[in-house]
A and B are shown apart, each in its own frame.
Chain A
Amino acid sequence: MLMCRDLADIASDYIDGELTSRQNLSVKMHLMMCKHCRTFIGNLRASTDLLKVHSSGRENEELIRKIDERVAEALRERKSDGGTRE
């Protein structure tokens, strides 16, 4: 029998669809009977989604500015010494 602790252990694999069909079935059976684990899975899933929303579109402006400068400089050098490469 799958216990709550076992379920918590493989919860991310369940969310990502990485379990075998047998494991998947035993998780589903457990969830039907266990309210706490339903809440846990729901909350872990929400935390995962939160991360997707939160991390996208975050930029490190200072680093990007530095890279832009170095790339621009390297492009200039390349044009002046190897301009006939094409």
Chain B
Amino acid sequence: MDTATHPDPQGSLIEDLKRGNSFAYKEAVREYSPGMLAVARFYLDHSSAEEIVQDCWVTVIDAIQKFEGRSGLKTWLHRIVANRCKNKLRSINREVATDFSESLDPELADRFNAKGRWDLPPKLKFHESADTLMENDALSGCLDKHLSALPETQRSALMLYEAHQHKSEDVCNILDISASNLRVLLHRARQKIFLMVETFQETGKC
């Protein structure tokens, strides 16, 4: 294969990281830290999570020498973060508390009658595309607010799956949850966002 005309951008980034190239580190830190933080937030509070992500990057400088590229850099980094978080939880003897029991949001569940039909159906269609909607600064701010109000576990699952586009299998591995539990977390988080956008469209308020 002619590598000059078909470069593997991640491959050369990894080589540069192995050589300790500081520009490569800057690039990788910017690219991968938001996802690493999302992983850490599944397990820990905000300031401990930021600390863990910083510590991980320092260990990456040595660990990258042994990285063979089988899993992809992103997944590898996310696993390092998850393992470190789990060790930390073990050392302070705590577990992640998550509610996987109900997949319907209680607020949404209240909108059906006893027969299971809509009592309070969705009134409006979200007619605009996501890109158009996001041009609305007020809505964007509202989304931020609601995202930060989500339980840590739901937000992390949502971020890894939607924003960082991990496959379900990888999210389950990194967060140490079953496939069905991941489905519950994703669905609960999406319903919250749905309810938020609905309120925003109807009332113009967050």
Contact = CB atoms under 8 A, between A and B. Distances in A.
A58 to B, nearest CB: 7
B186 A6 contact: no
Contact of A75 (B20, B134, B187): B20
Secondary structure class of chain B's binding surface, majority of residues: helix
Contacts of B96: none
A64 B187 contact: no
A20 interface: no
Interface in B22-37: 22, 25-26, 29-30, 33-34, 37
B122 A36 contact: yes
B109 interface: yes
A5 B112 contact: yes
Secondary structure class of chain A's binding surface, majority of residues: helix
Contact of B20 (A13, A58, A79): A79
Interface of A: 3-6, 8-13, 16, 18, 36-37, 39-40, 42-44, 46-56, 58-60, 63-64, 66-68, 70-72, 74-75, 78-79
Interface of B: 20, 22, 25-26, 29-30, 33-34, 37, 50, 53-54, 57-58, 61-62, 103-104, 108-109, 112, 115-118, 121-122, 124-126, 129-131, 133-134, 140, 143, 147, 158-159, 162-163, 168, 183, 186-187, 190-191, 193-194, 196-198
